[in-house]
Chain A
Amino acid sequence: MATRRTTRPRFTLALLVLTSITLITLDYRSAGSGVTDRARGLARDAFEPVGRGVGNVLSPAVNVIGGVLDFGRVKDENARLRDELARARADAAAGADARRELKTALDALDLSFVGDLPSVAARVTGGAFSPLQLTVEIDKGTEAGIDEGMPVVSGGSLVGRIVQVGPRRSTVLVLSDPGLSVGVRLTSTGDLGVVTGDGGRRLVMSLVEPKTQVKVGDEVVTSGLQQSQYPPGLPVGKVTSVKRDSAGLTQDVIVTSSTDLRRLSFVRVLQWRPE
């Protein structure tokens, strides 16, 4: 009798464990085209209206609380944004000419120009659920021409990459995720490096030559080197601080994204694939 009591829980546990392992194996082998992906798509499509409805009901309260808690920060940010807007207007006039020249040069070299890439606009429907990755979910998928690995931009700068795609929904791994690395180039010097997220708005640029003179305010864009996951010239952010170690062997370059990666609402998925 006692044996039966102890055997049954173990048998049930073994059954559940084996079922889980079988599911993992099935999902792994189907690689994005199996029954598990269809189940995922169905579950997300079914849950989305519920989540959005509750979100709409809760959002006034959440906004009031957020507004009260963030009032000081919002005021500072408004002042900063006004200043940035004035400078951006001045830069835009100068930049238009440079873009024309760049496009002509790239056409001559038969390379793609970021401004010419086809793209799909999508709305961020909410943060995804992963405790281990910084992801957001968007309301467009394969039916709109989105594919895994496509770069995602917002406000003209890179914000992430598509890591999972369903018929009407996709998951974007955000640039601030510590697991996402992007090959970049400093526009001022042409030096290359790699930026990695720190979970917030800051990105850490590593592999920068110690002799490179990096200045605060330098623009950082995607390098687009061979086998890169991103097209060349996509704005990533601006250098906000540079620290050199006492021996001068390394330098920590902090890059801040021009987009607030924690508050994405609309994005564009560039229909670009690595060559």
Chain B
Amino acid sequence: MIRFLKLGAVFVVLLVVQSRVLNGFTFAGLRPVVMLLVPVAAAVDGDAIRAAGAGFVAGLVLDLFLETPVGTCALAFTLLGYAVAAVERNVIRADLWLQPAVAGLASAVGVVLIAGIAAVFGEPEYARPTVLAAAAFAGLVNLVLSIPVARLVRWALGGSSGVLAERSYA
């Protein structure tokens, strides 16, 4: 129960940051999406279930504030969390210096996933060339924000949320 309350508090903080700070921080009309860091931060210790679950809930919350069909971000974040956890566990074992880069790259992939899923489910206007620019911009901003958000997610989910959070804030 406490874990859910903590996660809810993290979502509120991230939504406030998104709506009051990052929405004014646009590049060629593109906005970053800080919420994408929740499944990525939950995935850095390789627990695929936890990453997919955190991604699903974070995506569902974000869906309530977007114009894309409800479930689009939930699906994208679930797949993203699971994939990052699988890659983390089996391929890279991202070290401290590499994890912001992984977060940035995963965020960029996440934006493309959202647009792709929305397009597949009947919203083709989202599949346009600017999606790649939006993905690159979101990736760059999230690369910078990944460390504080990893700390927040670790606090909410409890236990280890990857070497990034542990080593940075031990």
Contact = CB atoms under 8 A, between A and B. Distances in A.
Q: Do A and B bind each other?
A: yes
A62 B17 CA distance: 13
Interface in A6-34: 8-9, 12-13, 16-17, 19-28
Interface residues of B, number: 54
B21 A36 contact: no
Contact of B29 (A8, A126, A200): A200
A128 B22 CA distance: 11
B87 interface: no
Contacts of A21: 71, 75
Bin chain A's interface residue count: 35 or more
Contacts of B138: 131
A94 interface: no
Interface in B97-113: 111
Contacts of A171: 67
A254 interface: no
What is the predominant secondary structure among interface residues of chain B facing chain A? helix
Contacts of A273: none
Interface of A: 8-9, 12-13, 16-17, 19-28, 36, 39-40, 43-44, 47, 50-51, 54-55, 58, 62, 126-135, 163-164, 171, 176-179, 197-200, 262
Interface of B: 12, 15-16, 18-21, 23-24, 26, 28-33, 48-49, 52-53, 56, 59-72, 74-75, 78-79, 82, 111, 114-115, 117-118, 121-122, 125-126, 128, 130-131, 134, 138
